[in-house]
Chain A
């Protein structure tokens, strides 16, 4: 094993910490097992080192591009928001003047689309209900405020939020209700008895172990996705046990 890490304050640490967390030992074994069937040949170590050295620059470049791309996305998002604000709806800008009852005139609310510096009683209140010297007294009581909003932002946000909520709801219904029914039909009743959690929504996650053990063949994208999903389910199950059942965290 290569060793990098000079003596610092008299201690010596190597920067490679070949360590796997305790809970992941099983998967580490299956990973080793997954590759055990590969062909014999040149020493994997040397091949891997050469491969790594060769792809360093490329992957460093990829990472850089990814970072720049993300920053660009964020900035363009901000720009889009500004553009949306600029091309606002005619109705999204207004000056609102609230005038209380005065003498025999009742209170009234006046709205007008006008610039911020013109947002005062004299420009907005039309037709002026009082005449001559009373105008100043009337206008002193009025309160004028400049308001703007972005109806596009509101619409887009609410619709995005509702769609995310809807997707999560559908996925939740699928995980808790549909998947156990499907698995029961495909694999038979016996496997579900193995799990000792008898609350409804634990059932689908209880099969994660079996699926993990079974999924060692072809490493294509679909299989990777399913593998990742099963690992996620195991993690959530662990979290649920600590929070809801044993009350160890977050009580």
Chain B
């Protein structure tokens, strides 16, 4: 039996080195070389980098041998670009499918198209000739459910029937979504960005970026967005794009076998995800750089841009919104803004910061309650209850009945002469002969006043319900609800300023820049600024937010108001707490994420953090050549450390190197099975030459191969500031502490994170993973 197992291992080794593989292998268990790290552990960045350098050097040296090898080396160099192209294509396609399906299913809650059931409301009435100016949205082909079932379109019974069916559809979509997530891919729930941030910093979560997660996340995302819940699709789209990135990188051995290189691909895929969510390629790259990625080499910058462009171009060819725009709320007006308006913009920034703080605190408290109490045992019931509440409260208010993207689009748009919504019900001057896009400020009609209090109610509702919605066991994103809250607040402030300017145009603050009869104030711009402020307050994005917003609006002249609001909201929100929503969720889950933005300013030393502390059992070490196989096996069985330092001997304690637990276990197992004469009493040695042994002693076991001869060491008086910096910049998992050359202790990443949590007066026991 030994030969068969070793035969498997040898085939694995030879196979891995030559990059071969069978097409039927995807049904087999993955070969052990692929999954070299355990689940929920951190990778060794330096080792991955050195493996990649070795591979590259081997290919370069072989490329001079023959034409075929040269072509192979060219293909290896281009494989990165091919992967980016494929990721962009698939991400763009999936985003297009999601947009089209959401468009249709959202309208399904209210009615159905009789001529072709796959058309949404707008598409159904596209070809109709019966649309009139007054009822621009109605056409006989698309009927509400009450018209279809009981042949009535007005009246109390029709309203109640529509209401009831709306709730029914919303409940069925949400129930379907949570069941699919529960049965097929539990990792598909949530936003995905906190986990992707952790994965990109070196953590392994197997299955999080798998094919089933991709499929279920795409399918259920459509369902939950259509069900009218207060969530968005941007965060889940980043997860979907990263799943595509993982899938394509597993086709090339350059990326599938190297976890470090794979994370470069995932960074670029995240950029493509944001690019198709917002139609903002540059914003996507900056988002990946600022929010998601951990190490972002310059090579990744260019490749991310390429992936984001390909994704945006693919989405544009699918053309989901029928007008060659990538996002539903693309606006394109160029009315100027005035310096005096900076004051309300900054006020909106303050509102955004305050809302961000409120949301983060409440949401984390609710998620913690879900994690620790009985509430967490009924995920399906929770989703159904929240959907029911959302649907029941949302239907009566026209601003919450429509999908959030349409609401934002309506709020961002300026009121031309032809807008028929209530927000644009201004009192028009009948003698006005101005062209369409230069309407002066007008007094508000009754429709505007109705719209204002409806918006106020909708604002309060959205603020409250989003706290309970984000974090449920369904795919949920956070960008669109935040933008909706900000847009509603901004529009209300904008209309207020506009009416103030109209009715009191002789006040000192308006006199200089706003003459009667001029178009001074654009409430749509206030909505955009409010949306940027709220999004910045919650996620603490800076540059990427401004770039996304101005790519959304196409107007470079609005950069200054957007920046003012974003900066103000970030300052206000940072005054209350340093963490954005994603970092807060990372802390809630206890992921081992060493944030590059955290500053460590305490004056502790390495001795204060290293293990073993005073009173703890001494460090478990291996000696260079005096331990037997049995000793080592006992040590491994009794402790659960991930690695052991190797010293010269128990007396001198001078450090030789570091051995990983996993590799020790496998090396001993292989040796016992394969090599002759290895028994429990065999001496295990890490030196080049075997030690002097008396005659008749069993064959010694050489394990120098698995020894890391250059572990990172610091002295005991190294300040923790430096140690934290080393861990961050090099991506270390552990670091050894020596004094005068003798090994003193070990600091692991978990110890560093616990220490930082302790210094920040948080619970150090919340760090759960290695």
Q: Which residues does A use to contact B, with CB under 8 Å? A: 1-6, 8-24, 27-28, 31-33, 35-36, 38, 43-45, 47-49, 51-53, 55-56, 59-60, 62-64, 66-67, 70-71, 74, 77-78, 81-82, 85, 91, 94, 98-101, 106-109, 111, 137, 140-143, 145, 147-151, 153-155, 157-161, 164-165, 168-169, 172, 175-176, 201, 221, 224-225, 227-228, 231-232, 235-236, 239-240, 242-244, 247-251
Q: How many A-B Cβ pairs are below 8 Å? A: 315
Instruction: Give min CB distance, A177 to chain B, whole Å.
Output: 11
Q: Report the bound CA distance from A159 to B100 in whole Å.
A: 11
Chain B residues within 8 Å of A48, by CB: 7, 10-11, 14
Q: How far is the CB of B503 from chain A (nearest CB, A)?
A: 26
In the assembled complex, the Cα of A237 lies from the Cα of B544 at a distance in Å of 38
The answer to whether A18 and B219 have CB atoms under 8 Å apart is no
The answer to whether B35 and A21 touch across the interface, beta carbons within 8 angstroms, is yes
Task: Assess whether A56 is in contact with B18, with CB atoms less than 8 Å apart.
Answer: yes
B704 to A: closest C-beta gap in Å: 8
Contacts of A18 in B (CB 8 A): 9, 12-13, 32-33, 666, 670
Contact B370 A13 (CB under 8 A): no
Does A53 contact B14, Cβ atoms closer than 8 Å? yes
Docked-complex contact A251 and B183, CB < 8 angstroms: no
B635 within 8 A of A: no
Check if A60 sits within 8 Å of B118, measured CB to CB.
no
Look across to chain B and name the residue whose beta carbon is closest to the beta carbon of A28.
B32
Residue of B nearest to A98 (CB): B418
- State the 7 A-B residue pairs at the shortest beta-carbon distance, nearest first: A44-B7, A107-B133, A52-B14, A59-B20, A158-B118, A48-B11, A149-B322
Q: How far is the CA of A149 from the CA of B116 in the complex (A)?
A: 15
List 26 contacting pairs A-B, 8 Å CB cutoff, sorted by A: A8-B54, A9-B710, A12-B709, A13-B50, A13-B51, A16-B16, A17-B33, A18-B12, A18-B670, A19-B36, A21-B32, A21-B206, A32-B5, A32-B8, A44-B10, A49-B11, A63-B21, A74-B86, A106-B133, A143-B436, A149-B123, A149-B322, A150-B319, A153-B319, A161-B100, A250-B189
Interface centre among A9, A38, A148, A158 (most CB of B within 10 A): A158
Bound-complex Cα distance A214 to B43 (A): 35
- Given the contacts A16-B13, A18-B13, A36 and B1 also touching, CB distance less than 8 Å: yes
- Contact A250/B417 with A11-B708, A21-B35 known, Cβ cut-off 8 Å: no
Q: Hey, which chain A residues are within 8 Å of B38, CB to CB?
A: 21-23
Name which residue of chain B comes closest to A57, CB basis.
Answer: B68
Nearest chain A residue, comparing its CB with the CB of B133: A107
* Least CB distance, B323 to chain A, in whole angstroms: 6
> A168 and B184 in contact (CB under 8 A), knowing A27-B29, A63-B21?
yes
Q: Closest chain B residue to A101 by CB distance?
A: B133
**Closest chain B residue to A2, Cβ basis:** B13
- Interface pair B13/A141, CB less than 8 Å apart: no
Query: Contacts of B206 on A, CB cut-off 8 Å?
Result: 21, 235
Task: Give chain A residues whose Cβ lies under 8 Å from the Cβ of B33.
Answer: 16-19
CB contact between A78 and one of B9, B29, B184, B317 (< 8 Å): that residue: B317
Is B611 located at the chain interface by the 8 A CB criterion?
no
Chain A residue nearest to B585 (CB atoms) is A251
CB neighbours (8 Å) of A21 from chain B are 32, 35, 37-39, 206
Residue contact B123 to A154, C-beta cutoff 8 Å: yes
Asked whether A141 and B417 contact (CB < 8 A) given A15-B51, A18-B9, A176-B183, the answer is yes
Residue of A with least CB distance to B194: A250
Minimum CB distance partner of B434 in chain A: A140
Asked if B24 lies at the interface with its beta carbon under 8 angstroms from chain A, I say yes
Known: A52-B11, A235-B207. A172 touches B100 (CB 8 A): no
A55 with B1: CB separation less than 8 A: no
CA distance A56 to B22 in the complex (A): 10
Known interface pairs A8-B54, A66-B251, A227-B27; A165-B219 also in contact (CB < 8 Å): yes
- Residue from A17, A23, A224 having most chain B Cβ neighbours under 10 A: A17
Chain A residues in 8 Å Cβ range of B473? 243-244
Q: How far apart sit A15 and B14, CA to CA, in the bound complex (Å)?
A: 11
**B578: CB under 8 A from chain A?**
no
**A19–B85 CB distance below 8 A:** no
Q: Which of A32, A77, A159 contacts B118 (CB 8 A)?
A: A159
Structural contact, B18 and A74, CB atoms closer than 8 A: no
**Number of residues on chain B facing chain A (CB within 8 A):** 125
Q: Closest CB of chain A to B715's CB: distance in Å?
A: 19
**B89 contacts A78, C-beta separation under 8 Å:** yes
Bound-state Cα–Cα, A4 to B19, Å: 14
Q: Verify if B376 is at the interface (C-beta below 8 Å from A).
A: yes
Cα(A218)–Cα(B374), bound, Å: 47
**Segment at the A interface, from B174-182, B277-285, B554-562:** B174-182
B409 CB within 8 Å of chain A: no
Most B C-beta atoms less than 10 A away, residue of A23, A154, A164:
A154
Among B17, B72, B179, B195, point to the contact of A15 (Cβ < 8 A). Answer: B17
Contact of A172 (CB < 8 Å), options: B58, B101, B184: B184
Which of A19, A108, A150, A251 contacts B663, CB < 8 Å? A19
- In the bound assembly, the distance between CA atoms of A239 and B182 in angstroms comes to 10
Scan residues 409-451 of chain B and give those whose CB is less than 8 A from a CB of chain A: 416-418, 433, 435-436
Whole-angstrom CA separation of A143 from B433 in the bound complex: 15
Which residue of chain B has its CB nearest to the CB of A14? B705
Flag whether B729 is at the interface (Cβ < 8 A): no
15 new A-B contacts, CB < 8 A, other than A71-B85, A149-B126, are: A6-B54, A9-B50, A15-B54, A24-B29, A28-B29, A32-B8, A49-B10, A52-B14, A66-B23, A91-B126, A224-B24, A228-B28, A248-B589, A250-B195, A251-B368
B82 in the interface, Cβ–Cβ < 8 Å? Answer: yes
What per-residue 1/0 map shows which CB atoms of B119-138 lie under 8 Å from chain A?
Answer: 10001001101011110100
Q: How far is the CA of A175 from the CA of B379 in the complex (A)?
A: 20
Does the CB pair B53–A8 fall under 8 Å? yes
Residues of B contacting A106 in the complex (Cβ-Cβ under 8 angstroms):
133
Q: How far is the CB of B478 from chain A (nearest CB, A)?
A: 15
Q: B39: which A residues are within 8 A, CB to CB?
A: 21-23
In the complex, whether B96 has a CB less than 8 A from a CB of chain A is: yes
Residues of B within 8 A of A71 (CB): 82, 85-86
Q: Known: A18-B33, A147-B322. Contact between A236 and B185, CB under 8 A?
A: yes
C-alpha gap A116/B30 in the complex (Å):
55
- Closest B residue by C-beta to A23: B39
A28 and B704 alpha carbons, distance in the complex (Å): 25
Residues in B with CB closer than 8 Å to A59 are 19-22
B588 within 8 A of A: yes
Instruction: Name the B residues within 8 Å of A111 (CB-CB).
Output: 129
Q: Which of B354-401 contact A (CB under 8 A)?
A: 367-368, 370-372, 376, 379
Question: Is B186 an interface residue when CB atoms closer than 8 A count as contact?
Answer: yes
A157-B96 contact in complex given A16-B16, A67-B82, A143-B418, C-beta closer than 8 Å:
yes
Across the interface, A85 reaches (CB within 8 A) one of B21, B317, B710, namely B317
Query: Closest A-chain residue to B130, C-beta based?
Result: A109
Residues of B within 8 A of A81 (CB): 317-318
Closest residue on chain B to residue A38 by CB atoms? B4
Please tell me if B542 contacts chain A, counting CB pairs below 8 Å.
Answer: no
Is B768 in the interface zone, CB < 8 Å from A?
yes
Q: Given contacts A8-B53, A16-B16, A74-B85, are A62 and B101 in contact (CB under 8 A)? A: no
Nearest A-chain residue to B31, judged by Cβ: A20
Residues of A within 8 A of B97 (CB): 157, 160-161
Please give, as numbers and ranges, the residues of chain A lying within 8 Å of B435 by CB-CB distance.
140-141
Closest to A153 in B: B318
A243 adjacent to B93 (CB under 8 Å):
no
Name B313's closest neighbour in chain A (CB-CB): A78
A48, A85, A100, A106, most chain B CB atoms within 10 A: A48
Note all chain A residues with C-beta closer than 8 A to B89. Answer: 74, 77-78
Chain B contacts for A31, CB-based, 8 A: 8, 29
A251 and B707 form a contact (CB under 8 A): no
Residue B47 at the A interface, CB < 8 A?
A: yes
Query: How many Å lie between the Cα of A168 and that of B433 in the bound state?
Result: 58
Asked if B205 is at the interface of the complex by the 8 Å CB criterion, the answer is: yes
Give the one of A49, A53, A74 with max B CB within 10 A: A74
Whole-angstrom CA separation of A100 from B206 in the bound complex: 59
